[in-house]
């Protein structure tokens, strides 16, 4: 019996370290592991070399609806739901694996991750609470995050019909100036 608790504790610490390395906030660590707050604080400082960020977590479904966050959130949820449906992975391990796959896809496309692990964690919770869902784009057939009660019969995604200022970030303007 004692060996099992030691193995479980070691696994909990490993999960906490993985989440810390991915940038998870302390509140996420507390929810997803059985490790004490004090131990998590020490672990965070040991892994990151600094104290965890303070303040409230970003709790709003609206963030996931704007153009770039919606594209990234939709990619993440497609990956997450595929893993849940087609593998034996679940819970926090599904979050970690899905988020890593999401980061790989963003890296391959030479983009920047718009979705933090904390927002990805909230996204899953919003789906579980039936506050958000995926709907199909009528033009490309992709699956995109929408509010559960939205009318989505003729939904067209932000990739097929980007807003006029889509991609007009300060970084994009800087890159344009450098290459000009």
| Whole-structure pTM value | 0.85
What integer pLDDT is reported at residue 179 of this predicted model? 56
Helices assigned H by DSSP within the chain: 2-21, 26-32, 37-48, 67-86, 91-108, 117-128, 170-179
Q: What was the pLDDT predicted at 111?
A: 85
* pLDDT for 66: 92
Q: Are residues 75 and 162 in the same domain?
A: yes
Same domain assignment for residues 68 and 28: no
Residue 85, domain member (yes or no):
yes
Q: Is residue 90 part of a domain?
A: yes
- Angstrom distances, CA of residue 61 to CA of 12, 95, 139, 148: 29, 18, 24, 10
Q: Which residues of the chain have pLDDT under 50?
A: 1-4
Domains held by the chain: number: 2
What pLDDT, in 10s, does the model give residues 73-93? Answer: 999 999 999 999 999 999 999
Q: What is the CATH number of the domain that holds 95?
A: 1.10.10
Residue 55 lies in a domain: no
- Asked if 116 and 30 sit in the same domain, the reply is no
CA nearest 75: which of 5, 143, 150, 2?
Answer: 143
- pLDDT the model gives residue 175: 52
Question: Residue 67: which domain range?
Answer: 62-172
Separation between Cα atoms, residue 13 and residue 81, nearest integer Å: 26
Verify that 86 and 163 share a domain, yes or no: yes
Are 43 and 108 in a shared domain?
no
């Amino acid at each position: 019996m004692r060996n099992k608790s030691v193995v479980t504790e070691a696994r909990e610490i490993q999960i906490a370290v993985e989440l810390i390395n991915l940038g998870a906030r302390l509140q996420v660590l507390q929810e997803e592991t059985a490790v004490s707050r004090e131990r998590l604080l020490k672990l965070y400082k040991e892994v990151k070399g600094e104290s965890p960020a303070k303040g409230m977590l970003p709790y709003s479904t609206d963030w996931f609806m704007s153009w770039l966050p919606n594209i990234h959130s939709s990619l993440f949820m497609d990956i997450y739901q595929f893993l849940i449906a087609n593998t034996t992975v679940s819970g926090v391990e599904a979050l970690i694996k899905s988020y890593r796959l999401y980061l790989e896809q963003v890296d391959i496309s030479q983009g920047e991750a718009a979705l933090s692990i904390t927002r990805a964690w909230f996204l899953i919770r919003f789906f579980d609470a039936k506050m958000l869902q995926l709907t199909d784009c009528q033009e490309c057939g992709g699956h995109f995050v929408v509010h559960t009660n939205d009318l989505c019969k003729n939904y067209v995604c932000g990739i097929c019909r980007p807003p006029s200022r889509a991609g007009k970030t300060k970084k994009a303007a800087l890159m344009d100036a450098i290459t000009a």
